[in-house]
């Protein structure tokens, strides 16, 4: 079978690209570790970059960020607009630690203006690692493929015992319940997952319920 190669590269080009990739990964990890390890463990908030300021989810994320900051918990997001901006805005308004982990891409949005701490990553893999490594809990709002990817990576880590099971809150029951039901009815019934690995996922509909779970020591 012929190996699939979408972008053929010479051996020298491959070695050069690999060296550049490793240098970027090392730089990302070194910078992020230095900053995040100096902070208290925070709560990472995921969600759509397209959520409009007038949307109920935007207001909910802002209130959640505010409540976490009032409790002294740093708020971590991807640093962009939408849900990320809402959570950071709430945290900053409360005088708390508001962290944005942005990604440097030609088409990527600029960081939102509500950050007390900001990082710019070269690689998605290091950004995703740092969005979870220093977190004590996670809140996931409705979003698209990026949000789904972030949620599934958390579930894989928990499912394979590669991470401690911090609180995981999905906000908007109507949005998420179909997916969770599918996990249980399809993946569970076919024994592709252990059903108990979905029991810790908690669905809520407001920031008060999310705060209660995320701040429960």
Give the model confidence (pLDDT) of 20-59 as tens digits. 999 999 999 999 999 999 999 999 999 999 999 999 999 9
Please determine, for residue 1, whether its predicted confidence score (pLDDT) is greater than 90.
no
Angle in degrees, CA 78, 25, 154, rounded to 5: 45
Burial class for 81, CB neighbours closer than 10 Å (0-12, 13-18, 19+): buried
Report in angstroms the alpha-carbon separations of 94 from 97, 107, 176, 217.
Answer: 9, 31, 29, 21
pTM of the model: 0.89
**Among 78-92, 142-156, 185-199, whose mean pLDDT is lowest?**
185-199
Stronger pLDDT, 159 or 147, i.e. the higher one = 147
Kindly state the average pLDDT of the residues 61-75: 99
Intra-chain end-to-end CA distance of the chain, in Å: 54
Burial class for 51, CB neighbours closer than 10 Å (0-12, 13-18, 19+): buried
Q: 114 and 88 in contact (C-beta within 8 Å)? A: yes
Q: 94 and 116 in contact (C-beta within 8 Å)? A: no
Please determine, for residue 107, whether its predicted confidence score (pLDDT) is greater than 70.
no
Please name which of 71, 74, 90 lies closest in space to residue 217, comparing C-alpha atoms.
Answer: 71
At 3 the pLDDT is 47
Please determine, for residue 96, whether its predicted confidence score (pLDDT) is greater than 80.
yes
Q: What are the residue boundaries of the structural domains of the chain, listed by start?
A: 15-214
Cβ density class 95-108: b for 16+ within 10 Å, e for less? ebbbbbbbbeeeee
Token pair in block for residue 178: 């179909």
At 108 the pLDDT is 58
In angstroms, rounded to a whole number, what is the distance separating the alpha carbons of residues 163 and 158? 5
In angstroms, rounded to a whole number, what is the distance separating the alpha carbons of residues 159 and 207? 26
**Among 130-134, 196-200, 209-213, whose mean pLDDT is lowest?**
196-200
On average, the pLDDT of the chain sits at 91
Q: Crossing angle for the helix pair 56-70 and 207-214, nearest 10 degrees? A: 30
User: pLDDT tens digits for 121-133?
Assistant: 988 899 999 999 9
Answer left, alpha or beta for residue 20, where phi above 0 means left and psi between -120 and 50 means alpha: alpha
State whether CATH 1.20.1260.10 applies to domain 15-214: no
């Amino acid at each position: 079978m012929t190996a699939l190669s979408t972008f053929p590269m010479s051996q020298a080009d491959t070695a050069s690209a690999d060296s550049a990739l490793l240098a970027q990964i090392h730089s990302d990890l070194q910078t992020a570790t230095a900053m995040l390890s100096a902070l208290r463990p925070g709560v990472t908030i995921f969600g759509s970059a397209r959520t409009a300021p007038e949307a109920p989810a935007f207001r909910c994320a802002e209130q959640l960020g505010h409540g976490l900051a009032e409790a002294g918990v740093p708020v971590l997001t991807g640093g962009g607009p939408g849900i990320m901006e809402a959570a950071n805005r709430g945290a900053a308004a409360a005088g708390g630690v508001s962290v944005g982990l942005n990604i440097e891409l030609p088409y990527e949005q600029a960081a939102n203006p509500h950050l007390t701490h900001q990082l710019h990553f070269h690689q998605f893999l290091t950004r995703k690692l740092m969005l979870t490594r220093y977190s004590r809990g996670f809140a996931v709002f409705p979003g698209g493929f990026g949000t789904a990817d972030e949620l599934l990576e958390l579930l894989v880590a928990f499912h394979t015992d590669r991470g401690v099971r911090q609180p995981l809150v999905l906000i908007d029951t109507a949005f998420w319940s179909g997916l969770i039901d599918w996990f249980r009815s399809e993946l569970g019934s076919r024994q592709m997952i252990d059903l108990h690995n979905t029991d810790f996922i908690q669905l809520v509909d407001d920031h008060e319920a999310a705060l209660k779970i995320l701040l429960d020591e």
